[in-house]
Amino acid sequence: MSTTTTATETVPGSISVQAHEDKPISEQYNYAHLFPVFQKDEHYPPLTPFEHVDPGHRALKHENPRSFLANAKVTQLTPPIGEEVRGVNLATLDDTAKDQLALEVARRGVVVFRDQQDFINSPPETYLEWGRYFGRLHIHPTSGHPEGFPHLHLVYRDGKSSFNYELSDRTTATTWHSDVSYELQPPGLTTLFLVAAPESGGDTIFTSQVTTLKRLSPDFVAVLRTLKAVHSGFEQADYSRSGKRGGVIRRDPVEHVHPVVRKHPVTGEESLYVNRQFTRRIVGFKREESDAILNFLYDHIDRSIDSQVRTKWEPYTVVLWDNRVTAHSAILDFIETSERRHGIRITPQAERPIPALEGLKLD
């Protein structure tokens, strides 16, 4: 995995990605074909509902749903969330193993796979084939994507530019979120890998929304299970409309109502489903009432260090997480080093969030 580049690499579209001044011009960046592009005339119609069948359901019927890990070294990262796996090649998994993988990620929240050279160095078409196994691929409405591959979401920052959704008017850039939770059918199993990373820093932090819910009192959880909240993509679109992040809006922004507490379709676990980045208000509550509850929950998520795990990006690492039971944030502690952080996210959509409270109406 390389962190170097040529002096100036012009990305098709409207971006010119500059090299780091301290890198030799002669060194070639192997992942220039994955630079972000933003094309002003690229626009897509609204997403339509679809039926999602989670592959993890099939793994529940297997005699040993973890047999794909039989020859691997598996290390639990923390009791509530996360494990690290060495000795599994994601590029060679068959369908049975992929089903088991989906179940494992649902149960552990986050699974970190090391030594994935074969997967990361595959062509973009292989990334798409991988993602489609787990659900319908999402095209992000505002982020950059590689030329010709709109279904691949890119994170990108270097010493010259940033094409991420970053809010700089706060004391910290850490913003807990579940990816594009404003969609009617937000993502489930999600894959991310970095092809360039800072020498240190730039980690991704995850929290278990199953555990953050369990930390609350039963009576309060009973109230939360009756609530639903609006998740909005309008602010993210306005950020791009202002000229930041590449300045494109590929699909008109939407907002949707989701349960505050959702149930996983495979494991049956209940999890908190609000996040500071996209959740806006509780349905049926006055603004002050809604803000009081949501701000308490946001602060609870922020402070629940005993529900969190921090992932370090060793070379050739692929991280999979279940957006239905986790929240996460990039850690932008490397900005002053001007190093490149360049990642590719594969984002299959899942079902519309299932209320933990049976019979709760969302429409």
- Which of 188, 205, 177, 184 lies closest to 106, judged by CA? 188
Question: Could you give the CA distance from residue 39 to residue 37 in angstroms, rounded to a whole number?
Answer: 6
The residue type found at 205 is I
Cα dist. 221→218, 297, 355 in Å?
5, 11, 13
Strand duo 318-322 + 228-232: pairing:
unpaired
Q: What is the pTM of this model?
A: 0.91
Q: 55-355: which CATH number, 3.40.50.1000, 3.30.1360.170, 3.40.50.300, 3.60.130.10?
A: 3.60.130.10
Alpha helices in 141-286, H assignment, sequence order? 209-214, 218-224, 234-241
pLDDT in tens, the chain (363 residues): 543 333 333 333 344 344 333 443 335 899 999 999 998 889 999 999 999 999 999 999 999 999 999 999 999 999 999 999 999 999 999 999 999 999 999 999 999 999 999 999 999 999 999 999 999 999 999 999 999 999 999 999 887 776 665 556 666 778 899 999 999 999 999 999 999 999 999 999 999 999 999 999 999 999 999 999 999 999 999 888 877 666 789 999 999 999 999 999 999 999 999 999 999 999 999 999 999 999 999 999 999 999 999 999 999 999 999 999 999 999 999 988 989 999 999 999 999 999 999 999 998
331 touches 174 (CB < 8 A):
yes
Provide the pLDDT for residue 160: 77
**Residue ranges per structural domain of the chain:** 55-355
Question: Could you give the CA distance from residue 233 to residue 280 in angstroms, rounded to a whole number?
Answer: 10
Provide the pLDDT for residue 241: 83
The residue type found at 5 is T
Provide the pLDDT for residue 174: 80
3-state DSSP assignment of residue 18: strand
Give phi and psi for 322, each to the nearest 5. Answer: -105, 110
Question: Could you give the CA distance from residue 282 to residue 288 in angstroms, rounded to a whole number?
Answer: 10
205 touches 327 (CB < 8 A):
no
| Burial (Cβ within 10 Å: 0-12, 13-18, ≥19) of residue 224 | buried
Segment 242-252, tens digit of pLDDT: 776 667 899 99
- Which of 349, 346, 348 lies closest to 34, judged by CA? 346
Give phi and psi for 290, each to the nearest 5. Answer: -65, -45
The residue type found at 30 is N
Element (H, E) at 322: strand 318-322
Q: Give residue for tokens 């039963």.
A: 218
